[in-house]
């Protein structure tokens, strides 16, 4: 009797929880792992499984790692490589550098494991619906092993290369643009206020003009409505724009807009808005420019 296809999702934040739920809903045997018991409860309350990684690692076909950064990712990989069965796959979803991704592939392959460099995009609503986008690179065997789970979680899986690196590189490029566009949205709406234009008017008009962006249309309403309930927090972009700038610096690549956006997010975090929605970067513009937000 063969054991059923089994996966674990390590990191049940807004993205990981949605991915675990989507997998469970597709009748895949799915473990959810997190350091926070409240997040585990959210998953087990709908019938999901949980366990300690050392106890379950040997059962897994796929281990999805959906944590905050490279350090946490590395810790989980190092805990798992000696325990997982040969030919199973580690899917790394955090935003990390391409170099880190290549190092982790080397580490996994030294233990006869497969590795997928697979950062994710789409936000919590899409994660809950099983509609994330995955920017993936890795060996065909790794894609094949992960496919059943990816089918349950993702609307779109880009196949960006047959070795680790390009997935993380394109995720970092996406974060560069996303971070600059969120800060630009804040700059434009508060600049409009300095000229007597209400943010809602800016939103209504510019969303139909060449100045629009995905982030303008997604985050603009948060500013226009003065609602900073965190969908994605300021702290995430302090981290991600920091990764962009670190990688750029290593490559001797000047990235002045990224550096400027990072300064604005860092100022927002320093002013106490780190756990608010990333659109709260507008509060720094409003303070510096002496305009009043809704």
| Structural element, H or E, at residue 90 | strand 89-92
Least distance (Å) between residue 169 CB and its own copies: 4
122 lines the binding site for its own copies (CB under 8 A): yes
Measure the CA–CA gap between 55 and 273, rounded to whole angstroms.
39
154 is written with which tokens?
């993702």
Site string for its own copies, 128-147 (x = CB under 8 A): -----x-x------------
> Coil, helix or strand for 275?
coil
Could you say which residues in the range 242-261 bind its own copies, by CB under 8 A?
A: 244, 247-248, 251-258, 260-261
236 is written with which tokens?
């995430």
12 is written with which tokens?
């049940």
Measure the CA–CA gap between 19 and 124, rounded to whole angstroms.
9
Applying CB under 8 A, which of residues 84, 176, 238, 269 lies at the interface with its own copies?
A: 176
- The DSSP symbol for 112 reads T
Q: Burial-class residue 91 by CB neighbours within 10 Å (0-12, 13-18, 19+).
A: buried
Residue 171 C-alpha from the chain's centroid: 9
Q: Of the two residues 9 and 183, which places its CB atom closer to its own copies in the complex?
A: 183
Q: Burial-class residue 174 by CB neighbours within 10 Å (0-12, 13-18, 19+).
A: middle
174 lines the binding site for its own copies (CB under 8 A): yes
Measure the CA–CA gap between 288 and 33, rounded to whole angstroms.
42
Phi, psi (rounded to 5 degrees) for 94: -70, 160
Measure the CA–CA gap between 77 and 125, rounded to whole angstroms.
27
156 lines the binding site for its own copies (CB under 8 A): yes
Applying CB under 8 A, which of residues 216, 228, 237, 265 lies at the interface with its own copies?
A: 216
Q: Reply yes or no on whether 74 is catalytic.
A: no
Q: Of the two residues 5 and 158, which places its CB atom closer to its own copies in the complex?
A: 158
The residue count for binding its own copies (CB under 8 A) is: 68
263 lines the binding site for its own copies (CB under 8 A): yes
170 lines the binding site for its own copies (CB under 8 A): yes
Cβ neighbours for 150, distance < 8 A, ≥ 6 positions apart: 134, 136, 157
Applying CB under 8 A, which of residues 124, 129, 147, 191 lies at the interface with its own copies?
A: 191
Least distance (Å) between residue 209 CB and its own copies: 5
26 lines the binding site for its own copies (CB under 8 A): no
Considering 126, 145, 171, 239, which one is annotated as catalytic?
171
25 is written with which tokens?
């809903």
Applying CB under 8 A, which of residues 35, 125, 144, 173 lies at the interface with its own copies?
A: 173
Residues engaged in binding its own copies (CB under 8 A)? 98, 121-123, 133, 135, 156, 158, 160, 165-166, 169-170, 172-178, 180-181, 183-185, 187-188, 190-192, 194-197, 201-202, 205-206, 208-216, 218, 244, 247-248, 251-258, 260-261, 263-264, 285, 288-291
Active-site residues, by number, are 171
């Amino acid at each position: 009797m063969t054991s059923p296809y089994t996966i674990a999702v390590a990191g049940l934040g807004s993205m990981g929880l949605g991915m675990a739920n989507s997998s469970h809903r597709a009748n895949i045997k799915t473990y959810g792992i997190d350091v926070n018991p409240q997040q585990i409860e959210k998953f087990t309350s709908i019938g999901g499984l949980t366990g300690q990684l050392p106890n379950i690692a040997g059962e897994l076909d796929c281990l999805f790692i959906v944590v905050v950064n490279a350090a946490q990712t590395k810790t989980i990989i190092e805990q798992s490589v000696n325990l997982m069965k040969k030919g199973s796959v580690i899917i790394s979803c955090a935003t990390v550098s391409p170099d880190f991704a290549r190092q982790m592939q080397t580490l996994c392959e030294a233990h006869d494991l497969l590795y997928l460099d697979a950062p994710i995009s789409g936000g919590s609503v899409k994660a809950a619906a099983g509609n994330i986008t995955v920017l993936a690179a890795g060996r065909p065997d790794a894609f094949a092993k992960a496919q059943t789970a990816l089918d349950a979680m993702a609307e779109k899986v880009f196949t960006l290369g047959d070795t680790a690196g390009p997935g993380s590189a394109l995720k970092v490029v996406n974060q560069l643009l996303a971070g600059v566009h969120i800060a630009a949205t804040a700059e434009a709406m508060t600049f409009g206020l300095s000229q007597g234009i209400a943010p809602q008017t800016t939103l209504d008009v510019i969303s139909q003009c060449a100045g629009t962006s995905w982030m303008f249309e997604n985050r603009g309403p948060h500013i226009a409505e003065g609602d900073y309930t965190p969908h994605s927090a300021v702290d995430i972009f302090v981290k991600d724009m920091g990764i962009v700038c670190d990688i750029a610096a290593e490559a001797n690549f000047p990235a002045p807009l990224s550096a400027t956006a990072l300064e604005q997010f860092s100022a927002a975090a320093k002013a106490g808005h780190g756990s608010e929605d990333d659109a709260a970067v507008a509060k720094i513009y409003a303070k510096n420019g002496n305009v009043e937000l809704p």
